A and B are shown apart, each in its own frame.
Chain A
Amino acid sequence: EPEVTQTPSHQVTQMGQEVILRCVPISNHLYFYWYRQILGQKVEFLVSFYNNEISEKSEIFDDQFSVERPDGSNFTLKIRSTKLEDSAMYFCASSEAMGQGMEKLFFGSGTQLSVL
């Protein structure tokens, strides 16, 4: 079964450093998402992306965050200057479309980001 892949599985960085989290969505999917889960808290929506632009973003997704689809297969999340509170598990997801019957999200296994 096709799956969303994320790399790396673990990322340790120093506060203030830039990190890029990488994702390869399922090949025929058109919508891409980033969610995150801080330890012990809920999974939170960050951003959705369609047709090479952000379609929606949450209050968490401030100027320090950006997303990009640099080629036909990768989807990246960049955090420009990491803060301690950015430490979380970051999940990439994709979906085939937005219409009825196609809302199911496929998630990757996540990247555990630790900011020291």
Chain B
Amino acid sequence: SQQGEEDPQALSIQEGENATMNCSYKTSINNLQWYRQNSGRGLVHLILIRSNEREKHSGRLRVTLDTSKKSSSLLITASRAADTASYFCATAPDPYGNNRLAFGKGNQVVVIP
């Protein structure tokens, strides 16, 4: 089955710095999504990139997708203390579409004020 796999890093950065995390997957996808989870809360959708897109921006977020390498990256620019959370990538398999997302284990990001 498909797997989203983040680089198993716990990032600790200073406020104002950029945070980058990566995700790789194994099979073809319809789209790839990034979610954030604050401690004790549910997953919050951040951004979706389709298989025919290479880069997407949303506010301070920048996502890239390289389907030839089956990998994606999430960049958070000018980080804030409120960005402290776990970040998950999730792939929507092709041809099932959105129905079953395959999540990675998540990256813990700590932004130090």
Chain A interface (Cβ < 8 Å from any Cβ of B): 4, 6, 31, 35, 41-45, 48, 55-56, 58, 91, 93, 95, 98, 100, 103-110
Residues A108 and B42 in contact in the complex (CB < 8 Å), given A43-B103, A48-B99: yes
Q: Residue B98 contacts which of A43, A103, A107, A110 (CB distance < 8 angstroms)?
A: A103
Q: How many residues of B contact A (CB 8 A)?
A: 27
Q: Residue A107 contacts which of B4, B42, B104 (CB distance < 8 angstroms)?
A: B42
User: Within 8 Å CB of B40, what residues of A?
Assistant: 109
State A58–B3 Cα separation when bound (angstroms): 14
Within 8 A of A (CB), among B65-95: 88, 90, 92
Q: Residue B45 contacts which of A35, A43, A104 (CB distance < 8 angstroms)?
A: A104
Question: Most B CB atoms within 10 A — which of A31, A95, A100, A105?
Answer: A105
User: Within 8 Å CB of A44, what residues of B?
Assistant: 103
What residue of chain B has the Cβ atom nearest to residue A101's Cβ? Answer: B48
Query: How far, in Å, is B106 (CB) from chain A's closest CB?
Result: 8
Question: Most B CB atoms within 10 A — which of A6, A35, A43, A98?
Answer: A43
User: Within 8 Å CB of A104, what residues of B?
Assistant: 33, 45, 48
When each residue 29-72 of chain B gets 1 if its CB lies under 8 Å from chain A and 0 otherwise, what string results? 00101010000111111001010000000000000000000000
Question: Most A CB atoms within 10 A — which of B31, B42, B48?
Answer: B42
Query: How far, in Å, is B34 (CB) from chain A's closest CB?
Result: 11
Residues A103 and B42 in contact in the complex (CB < 8 Å), given A43-B103, A56-B99, A56-B100: no
